[in-house]
Structures are given as C-alpha cells and as structure tokens.
Amino acid sequence: MGREWFSPKTKGIYISLILRPNILPSETTKLTILSAVSCCKAIKEVAGIEVGIEWPNDLVIRNKKIGGILTELNAEMDKVKFVIIGIGINVNNTKSNLPHNATSLRQEKGMVVSRINLLRGMFEQLEKDYTHFLKYGISSIIDEWRHLSLTLHSRIKIVCRNEEVEGEAQDIDLDGGLLIRKDSGFIEKVLAGDVVKAG
C-alpha cells in the first residue's frame, strides 16, 4: 500500500517466520491473532509491560504503537503451502527515531530491554501457542485476544480500499473477523482494513 517501514539498526526486533500449517487458506487470519497474543504475553513476561491489541494487527501501549504483525500467504485453492508472519517490535528505539504516534519498550520502561531475551521469549511463546492451536483450535487464544483487545466495545470506523464500515466493535469470531454493529442494528463482519476510533 506504499507505506514506509523504518527499522533503525540495533534498536528493534524485525523477524519473519515461515509456517506450514495444515489449515485452509481462509483460516490464516487466525495466525495473525495468535501471533499478536503471543507477542503480548512474551513482552509482559520479559519486560514486565502490559501491551494491548488493536484489531487486526497493532500492538499498543497507552494509545501508541509499539509493534505490528503482517501475514502473507502462499496457497492453492484448498491448501496452504506456507504462511510468512512478519513481526516488528520497537524495543530500544529512542524518541528521536520514532513517529509521533509510536513508542518503544525502552521509552515505556525507562531502561534498555534485552532484545535477545525478548526474541527468545517470543519464539518460546509462539511455539507454545502455535502447537496448542494445531492441536486444539483457536478458541482459547481468541478468548485471550478478547482480554487484550483495545478495539472491542469502542465506536470505530474501518476503511478498506474505498469502502467504510462504522459502528460499535462487538466481538471477534473464530475466523478472526471483527463483528461491527452498525447504527442500523445489523452486524457486519470485517476481515481486513484500517481502524479509526470514531468516538
């Protein structure tokens, strides 16, 4: 979408994971949800900082973004060949190399955070949650996502391409779709888009 990505040397964590799950292409949104939950848990465990999730893929502290997740898919009609999960976390970025609406773990904690320890914690948590997902499904991870969500029960506007959906974010379903109650009372399911708080 023509957006810039800035990753200053030795400051953050920027990784791509390649997974080959035996799932349908329509289920890959679940991996974005899972990755966000895993990262939040790892950051809390290693750095002692509470992180929330703004649907679908932003990690946020005090209304400022500290990271994000992008999922790319290579698949046939009924089979996933592989999924690439890209994760970026602002770890030791200073204020001078952060956008105005972003923060870092160092900024929030007031001290340098070990990128090695955090990366190890992220890998351990991702492996644990991914293994659980493959064995038991996404249900319990969705429950964790709801607890971490900064989007649910807020009035929002979602912009996707040239379309907009506005209403109250009611819930997330087992496919990772956001359920929005429009002013008409109808519930609309949205699978992708940019979220803007509407008040």
* Closest residue by Cα to residue 66 from 34, 82, 81, 44: 44
| Residue 28 dihedral angles phi and psi, to the nearest 5° | -70, -20
Question: Residue 160 pLDDT > 80, yes or no?
Answer: no
- Within 48-114, residue ranges assigned H as helices are 105-109
Taking the alpha carbons of 131, 72, 158, 164 in that order, is the dihedral positive or negative?
negative
- The larger pLDDT score, comparing residue 114 to residue 194, is at 114
- Residue 3 binned pLDDT confidence (cut-offs 50, 70, 90): low
Q: What is the pTM of this model?
A: 0.91
pLDDT of residue 141: 96
* 47 has pLDDT over 80: yes
Give the pLDDT of residue 197: 66
- At 51-109, the pLDDT tens digits run 999 988 899 999 999 999 999 999 988 889 999 999 999 999 999 889 889 999 999 99
Q: What is the mean pLDDT of residues 119-133?
A: 98
Amino acid at 153: H
Q: Would you give the DSSP letter of residue 98?
A: S
3-state secondary structure of 141: helix
Q: Which residue has the tokens 């953050």?
A: 12
Q: Number of C-alpha atoms within 13 angstroms, CB side, residue 94?
A: 3
State the pLDDT confidence band at 180, using cuts at 50, 70 and 90.
very high
